[in-house]
Amino acid sequence: MNRVPHRTGHWNSGAYEDWGRCVGELITGLIPLALGILLSPLAYMALVAVLLSRLARVNGFAFLIGWSLGVVGVLTLSIWVFGLLDANPFGTPPPWVSIVRLVLGVFLVGAAVWVYRRGAVHMKQMSQAGSPREVAAAAPQLPGWLQAVDQFNPVQSVLLGLGIFVLNPVDATCAAIAGLDFVLADLPDAETVAIATGFAVLGILPIAIPVVLILLRGAKAQPFLDRTRQWIASHSGVLNAALLLVIGVLQLQKGVSGLI
């Protein structure tokens, strides 16, 4: 990919076309990554446990802060690290970038299979949960954390939200790939910040909406949240698996193309 015009200062029609193509390719590549984070089943399980706890409003907002820090932090760290590693010298990515894509692609394809085979069972249990302990039984990945949610204070809830994102290899991988794509696109800083902000907002929205509803409406929001939870339990497992498969295959294709 050619470097965008801000590096040279020459803005002719060809430069504008290159810039537009870079932006379009970046946004197209980011959409499935953002959806992969947006449809994270484990995040919903943890959020449901928090919103069923005795301090639902306070801890729900604290969980949202932690989740937001996780999304923004991993994305920012990835952009910084890949920038330091010079992932796009002279507009041509080095071979290690393709190898990273191949490794991440294999992992995501495997994750898609696991989510499809195992996720449906746990999501069904989560949809029927009526307490943090029952939610914990539906999320064996982090049972210790979730069983104690009812006793959490706001600081612990922030750490829970942060940990759910950072320690979930699927979500963290999607954010890391997004960071790599930002570095490879080599856009001006203003465009990078604007698009990265949009990406982060998409990753935060699915957690923010239920929390804001609880804050504004309290118990009146519960019927809507229950219906939403049941829909998520019925659909998000398959959708998440399909998205992970798409993302994984795309990374494999890009990795192979970069090595040829």
Q: What is the pLDDT of residue 64?
A: 94
User: Is 151 a member of any domain?
Assistant: yes
Report whether 48 contacts 129 (CB < 8 A).
yes
Q: What is the pLDDT of residue 11?
A: 46
Q: What is the pLDDT of residue 62?
A: 94
User: Is 174 a member of any domain?
Assistant: yes
Tally the domains of the chain: 1
Kindly tell me if the per-residue pLDDT of 207 is higher than 70.
yes
pLDDT digits (tens, 9 = 90+) for 73-112: 999 999 999 988 876 665 677 788 888 889 988 988 888 8
- Closest among 10, 2, 4, 1 to 187, alpha carbons compared: 4
- The reported pTM is 0.76
User: Is 112 a member of any domain?
Assistant: yes
More confident residue, 193 or 229: 193
Give 27: exposed, middle or buried? Use CB within 10 Å, 0-12, 13-18, 19+: middle
C-alpha span between 219 and 125 (Å, rounded): 22
More confident residue, 260 or 32: 32
C-alpha span between 183 and 38 (Å, rounded): 22
pLDDT digits (tens, 9 = 90+) for 213-245: 888 877 676 777 667 666 666 655 666 677 778
User: Is 66 a member of any domain?
Assistant: yes
First to last CA, the chain: 15
Question: Which range marks the domain in which residue 234 is found?
Answer: 9-259
C-alpha span between 46 and 63 (Å, rounded): 9
User: Is 4 a member of any domain?
Assistant: no
Least confident of 139-148, 157-166, 235-244: 139-148
C-alpha span between 133 and 40 (Å, rounded): 20
Q: What is the pLDDT of residue 135?
A: 56
Kindly tell me if the per-residue pLDDT of 67 is higher than 90.
yes
Q: What is the pLDDT of residue 113?
A: 81
Kindly tell me if the per-residue pLDDT of 4 is higher than 70.
no
User: Is 2 a member of any domain?
Assistant: no
Q: Give the mean model confidence (pLDDT) for residues 242-254.
A: 82
Average pLDDT, the chain: 77
